[in-house]
Amino acid sequence: MKNQITFLLLFFGLTIYAQNPSKEFTFEEYLGYVKKFHPLVKQADLKISEAQAKLMKARGAFDPKIEADYSKKEYSDKNYYSIFNGSFKIPTWYGIEIKAAFDNNEGLYLNPENTVPNAGLTSLGISVPIGQGLWINARMSDLRKAKLYQKLNKAERDIETTNIIYEAALNYINWKRSYDEVQLYNTYLKNATIRYDGVIKLIEQGDKAGIDSIEAGITVKTRKLNLENARLKLTKSKLELSNFLWMENNVPLEIDDSLFPDTNMEKTILTTLNIDDFSVVSIENHPKLNALQSKIDILNIERKLKANSLLPKLDVSYNYLSEPSAFENYRFEDYKIGVNFSFPIFLRKERANLKLAKLKLQDSELSLHFEKESLTNKIEAQKQEIESYERQRIINNELVNSYSLMLTAEERLFQMGESSLFLINSRENNLVSSQLTNIVLENSFLNATLGLFKTVANPE
């Protein structure tokens, strides 16, 4: 349920309201609320936290690890065996692992290979992958990809935030258009009512025929119908706009009836959206391209990992063995070594995985090239569209002025008895149509500007 406190009080506050009695809700202030409090914007910001968590998880693969294993068996008052093994492992970047261990085992039926001195046996060793896994392995690739996911998630966050701001701004300009139409019809309803009252007085004085009241009344009813329809659109647009207005703690707000939209929006929207300088509007650092490039870099890491799987798996290890008390007396004769080798004969699985990785990489690179060209052309087209609507608005403003002069002249002729109510209504209808066209052109100009903002995708 919407908050019962009106948005007017929450928006202005007592201090602000006292200093600025204006109730104009500017576009810049509106976007400030959307960027700061809208739940979907906050949800998009979670992608940054998600990427940081993934990076922490990947770094966890390089955390040192302590392990301990203890087992004991006693039966018929006999100590069959007591086996303890503790170790401390340090994974390193190039797949090399350093390990320190301590074994302390005893018992009547202890396996001979587990026999150690009474004080136990310590070991310090290293394990090195000579073939597969030395230059790149799953642990290394996960960390590299996690760092790239930070860039990818930031780009995706910017894209989602841009879409939310775009939808919010569309609703704002729709509210502005509905509000302007209501003001326009309200003005001409007052004019039609004044004209109707004047015609009634002239009829009562015998200066006009009674039929003129019918025509004047039709105009009043038409204006009332237009105004009612415009009010309905305004009510719907305000409710739709309220979907994007929130306060702290996810408290939704409603637009107060006394608020009105930005009266200077067409002059400030380019600056508000940071696209006022067309010469610097480009696809450089575009989040969609950054996202694609990050995906390509991630796929490139996967390709290297798949290519590494073509190498034979050869792991060698060396562990120096010593009693705890004699660790400083190094003896080359006391050691444990190991060699682990494996290599598939045909490598069909490995070669197929590498081919699939290369195909995915090629597919993403083609998408990046297409997206670059598409965005460049789209931005250029939208720049020209904006400039075209600016020129159209200038021409239409001249038409509005001309129709206004024609209406004023016709009203003077009517007062002198040299014109008719029909001609006045005809002139006024042309003026209303031109002013409605002005509102439509302004709306189209604002929509085109928002389209450029969405294409550039710079929500900051």
Rg of the chain on CA atoms, in Å: 39
Percent of the chain exceeding pLDDT 70 equals 93
DSSP string, 109-155: T--GGG---TT-EEEEEEEEESSTTSS--HHHHHHHHHHHHHHHHHH
Strand 24-25, strand 260-261: pairing: parallel
Residue 213: pLDDT band (50, 70, 90) is confident
Closest CA to 156 of 148, 254, 280, 431: 148
Residue 372: pLDDT band (50, 70, 90) is very high
Q: What is the pLDDT of residue 71?
A: 94
Torsion from C-alpha of 31, 32, 34, 40, nearest 10 degrees:
120
Residue 252 vs residue 301, higher pLDDT: 301
Largest CA distance in the chain: 134
The mean per-residue pLDDT over the stretch 157-161 comes to: 91
Instruction: Determine which of 183-197, 314-328, 385-399, 444-458 has the lowest per-residue pLDDT on average.
Output: 314-328
Residue 231: pLDDT band (50, 70, 90) is very high
Q: Which letter, b or e, does each residue of 279-290 get, where b requires 16 or more Cβ atoms within 10 Å of its Cβ?
A: eebebeebbbbb
pLDDT at 7 over 50: no
How many Å apart are CA 90 and CA 125, to the nearest integer?
Answer: 11
Strand-pair partners of 78 = 75
pLDDT in tens, 164-174: 999 999 999 99
Q: What is the pLDDT of residue 460?
A: 76
Q: Which CA distances in Å does 392 have to 276, 386, 395, 402, 403?
A: 19, 10, 5, 15, 16
Q: What is the pLDDT of residue 1?
A: 41
pLDDT at 210 over 60: yes
pLDDT in tens, 254-305: 888 888 998 888 888 888 888 888 777 788 888 999 999 999 999 999 999 9
295's enclosing H/E stretch is: helix 287-308
How many Å apart are CA 258 and CA 25, to the nearest integer?
Answer: 10
Rounded to the nearest integer, the mean pLDDT of the chain is: 86
Residue 322 vs residue 19, higher pLDDT: 322
Q: What is the pLDDT of residue 12?
A: 34
pLDDT at 9 over 50: no
SS3 label, residue 321: strand
Closest CA to 308 of 95, 147, 149, 91: 95
Cβ atoms < 10 Å from Cβ of 199: 23
pLDDT in tens, 411-449: 888 778 787 778 888 888 899 999 999 999 999 999 999
Q: What is the pLDDT of residue 328?
A: 64
Residue 326: pLDDT band (50, 70, 90) is low
359's enclosing H/E stretch is: helix 348-415
Instruction: Determine which of 5-9, 331-335, 336-340, 448-452 has the lowest per-residue pLDDT on average.
Output: 5-9
Strand 260-261, strand 97-106: pairing: unpaired
Phi-psi sector, 209: left (phi>0), alpha (psi -120 to 50), beta: beta
Q: Which CATH architecture has domain 7-37+140-298+359-456?
A: Up-down Bundle (1.20)
pLDDT at 204 over 90: no
Structural domain boundaries in the chain: 7-37+140-298+359-456, 64-92+96-132+313-346
The mean per-residue pLDDT over the stretch 11-37 comes to: 65
Q: What is the pLDDT of residue 6?
A: 39
The mean per-residue pLDDT over the stretch 208-219 comes to: 79
pLDDT in tens, 99-146: 999 999 998 888 888 888 888 888 899 999 988 888 888 889 999 999
Residue 18: pLDDT band (50, 70, 90) is very low
Q: What is the pLDDT of residue 100?
A: 93
Phi-psi sector, 103: left (phi>0), alpha (psi -120 to 50), beta: beta
Q: Which pTM value belongs to this model?
A: 0.83
Q: What is the pLDDT of residue 226?
A: 93
